[in-house]
Amino acid sequence: MPPLERIYLDYAATTPINAEVLDVLLLHSKESFGNASSVHSFGRTSKVILEESRELIARSINAEPGEIVFTSGGTEADNHALIGAALARRRNSGKNHILISSVEHHAVLECAEYLSECGFVISQIPVDTAGRVHLNEVENLLRSDTAIVSVMHGNNEVGTLQPIEEISALCKSKNILFHTDTVQTFGKIPVDVKQLGIDFAVFSSHKIYGPKGIGALYIRNGVEIDSLIHGGAQERNHRAGTENIPSLAGFALAVKKSVDVMPELQKHLKKCKTMMTAMLQSQIEGLQINGGAELSLPSILSVSLDHSIYDIESETLLLQLDLHGVAASSGSACTSGSIQPSHVLQAMGKDAKTAKSTVRFSFGKNTTVEEIETASKIFIEIVSALPKK
């Protein structure tokens, strides 16, 4: 039997590291081991790499280098922004209310849950059936004691994009801080922090072909925020701990490479998504596409099977796909072996049973048209073999 051809369609979960980025990671692991806080030449070499990497990342989002803090990834950056800003705001102005969208990543949801245990009041902004937040809903939920609003740029489960500029302008007019999670959008659509008018943005290296365990938080100049990690004075007192020079140099190169190819990548991803959508839609009865066709990330295609026709859960579909060599995801959290209906799909009004049959395909720069064709055919065959109700 010929070896199984493996097709990776889970780029929203993580991406393979770029070969040149890996070279940089290895090179600096071997050679640039000095502590960036040391005064000797080894330390100074690391300090130069640190500041050059910071500058490159800042430039890619139209920020100042001093507005970038390196973190261990997107989760830490979300935690730092929300918890750090909430604590500082409450201390400085007594504001105690936090508003988040109902479709946030768990890195934001669980922070909000934690903040609620710390005495903050949390409200959630509803979304429409495409997963989109509307400005009037935000306006209705704002209070005189609202400290921070958090609405993600692009959703990791269904790809829906949010009207960030409108929401940030509203927040600015009321002196409320605005945080947006840009983990899924960065490298696929432009992220210009000044144009978006945001106070905090979050970046993760492993979503853009960089190393894992490294990311960044953008903190607009002048915004007060507490640290989560206390110790040395690294990162201008925002995050203590010796900097991870090899990883952040790799991250910076991954950023450069992503920005350089973004227009072509965007076109390629769009082609993959359009093609797979058309193939699945034309062949599968009761297929539901999640998220709007417009105002959506080209890298993510989320589909569900109508519960009134099929009695199937994503886990089974994903195992079947994997047996045929296709790696995809449900997009929602798996707890103790059973897939919970996604909070995102439920917020979009999907019934729990249909939500439980969701598969997320996500595309990247290495995805080929042939892979899309093969994976679509495999998924169509798996679904046509399912017993119908």
Q: Is 155 or 304 the residue whose CB approaches ligand PLP more closely? A: 155
Q: Which of 286, 280, 282, 279 is nearest to 388 (CA)?
A: 286
Q: Is 63 or 82 the residue whose CB approaches ligand PLP more closely? A: 82
Residues 132 to 171 in contact with ligand PLP, rule: CB under 6 A: 152, 156
Q: Which of 59, 37, 58 is nearest to 47 (CA)?
A: 37
Closest approach of ligand PLP to the CB of residue 177, in Å: 18
Q: Which residue number has the CB closest to ligand PLP?
A: 74
Q: Is 156 or 160 the residue whose CB approaches ligand PLP more closely? A: 156
Closest approach of ligand PLP to the CB of residue 295, in Å: 16
- The residue from 21, 61, 86, 183 that contacts ligand PLP (CB under 6 A) is 183
Q: 69 and 266 in contact (C-beta within 8 Å)? A: no
Closest approach of ligand PLP to the CB of residue 296, in Å: 14
Q: Is 102 in the site for ligand PLP (CB under 6 A)?
A: no
Residues 41 to 80 in contact with ligand PLP, rule: CB under 6 A: 73-75, 78
Q: Is 184 in the site for ligand PLP (CB under 6 A)?
A: yes
Q: Is 215 or 312 the residue whose CB approaches ligand PLP more closely? A: 215
Q: Is 253 in the site for ligand PLP (CB under 6 A)?
A: no
Question: Tokens 């000044």 appear where?
Answer: 194
Q: Is 14 or 277 the residue whose CB approaches ligand PLP more closely? A: 14
Q: How far apart are CA 119 and CA 115, in angstroms?
A: 7
- The residue from 101, 204, 290, 357 that contacts ligand PLP (CB under 6 A) is 204
Q: How far apart are CA 227 and CA 81, in angstroms?
A: 9
Q: Is 103 in the site for ligand PLP (CB under 6 A)?
A: no
Q: Which residues bind ligand PLP (CB under 6 A)?
A: 73-75, 78, 105, 107, 152, 156, 181, 183-184, 204, 206, 215
